Structure 1
């Protein structure tokens, strides 16, 4: 039996800005029969500098509106800061919705490292979150884990993917603390704990003082979404979805062009 595309609910992908596009790209490959709605809370960007309670309230309030308006099959919260802070609140507030979260990939990093030296490159909010420290305690207690909170990289990544030039010195200043030498060993894995950062991965590789594995969680998040969202045999890709919504209502020209490059229209 063939299911008409418009009968399939969309998958909503949420981020503070455009970093979640790295996750959307992978999700589309694994979920070709689904339509996607991309939500960028650019009016609140960047999340890293917010106080916890106001940001938690903002995210839950936003989702109250988004879920009612779009009625998605599932939500991918493609933002470490948002999910480590408000993931529990979202699941409590909306118990009937499937939420696929984004958390720092500390467990796979601990499993892969050979030197035992792992760095987590994140926003200041993710670094200070108890959730992040609990992950380290649970899965990486035998590793030396350095938490590096960058104030500026999310903005830099957004500018870079829009085509702006970013000075090497500025990027290097943000990533240098990730590289640790201890007792003859060197950091061999850096966890990219912000979905914006993979946009700069090639720059990171070029500037790094030695080769490391830059761990991008996007594919793992997409695999988890595929596990939680049922595959409907014979389903056709629906029309009317695959659009982006910016909470400011004022995305600039370069942002609109970028969205088009990802196959998204602007709502």
Structure 2
């Protein structure tokens, strides 16, 4: 009697909200043999409102629970704020796990710009992180880089994804600082340094004062994940899951997950807090 072959381990995609669906979409194309678990820490959203140390502890505690529950092959952290803050600590805490991070696409922007004026549209946490400034120093030293930390754009994106579209003026206020004109040269590339933002790309193009190249990081993240995740024969029979730390993402979000072919998983509980749902 031939033994049944075990399903390949799943790949876990983590984000503070639902913006990481842009990365999930690309990863599915490149890793069709794997199942996916999409985890949204919606109870902690938005991460930009947190102090660094409590947020870092929260993320590490959450991953202790996620690994015990799902035993993934690899983790894609589809959130620049989470990875630039906690990526090194996660790798030190879980040395046997493959982590694929999200960082601002400053290097490709510096390679593609013609004017030398680049803007990085990010969350306030990503803008202030030393990791981001190191990327600029390493790869964009000859460019004029404008860092724009939007306080509200991730929230606006979450509303937009769910079908609650806000007035143009609210979006324009957030992206206007990206556009710099200086002595005849002006911004020609804007790095979307938050996985929520590509969902708004068409809005940005429509409202921009002049055409620019908007760099979406999702495809590059998925390609890196494919390089790190072993390719295996066969195909997983497990359903792709969506898991929310709040336990109650709301009707519109549930419908969105269904549209992405995701079944709703059980709420995430903290092992280190005696089974209490993540606050």
Cα shift readout 1:165-184 (whole Å, capped 9, x = no counterpart): 21100000000000001121
Tell me what 1:187 maps to: 187
Cα shift readout 1:173-203 (whole Å, capped 9, x = no counterpart): 0000000011211100000000000010000
1:5 shift after superposition: 7.0
Q: Which runs of 5 or more residues in structure 2 are unaligned?
A: 266-279
Residues 1-267 of structure 1 aligned to structure 2 (within 5 Å): 6-233=6-233, 235-236=234-235, 238-267=236-265
TM-score (norm 2): 0.93
TM-score (norm 1): 0.97
Cα shift readout 1:30-70 (whole Å, capped 9, x = no counterpart): 00110000000000000011100000110011001101110
1:218 shift after superposition: 0.1
Is the Cα–Cα contact under 8 Å of residues 6 and 239 in structure 1 kept in the other structure? Answer: no
Is the Cα–Cα contact under 8 Å of residues 7 and 237 in structure 2 kept in the other structure? Answer: no
- What is the SS of the residue equivalent to 1:7? coil
Q: Which runs of 5 or more residues in structure 1 are unaligned?
A: none
Cα shift readout 1:1-52 (whole Å, capped 9, x = no counterpart): xx96742000000000001000000000000110000000000000011100
1:232 shift after superposition: 1.3
Query: How many pairs does the alignment contain?
Result: 264
Is the Cα–Cα contact under 8 Å of residues 87 and 101 in structure 2 kept in the other structure? Answer: yes
With a CA cutoff of 8 Å and minimum separation of 6, indicate the structure with the bigger relative contact order: 1
Whole-Å separation in 2 of the counterparts to 1:76 and 1:15: 9
Is the Cα–Cα contact under 8 Å of residues 192 and 198 in structure 2 kept in the other structure? Answer: yes
Cα shift readout 1:191-236 (whole Å, capped 9, x = no counterpart): 0000000010000000000000000000000000000011113x12
Task: Calculate the aligned-residue CA RMSD, in Å.
Answer: 1.3
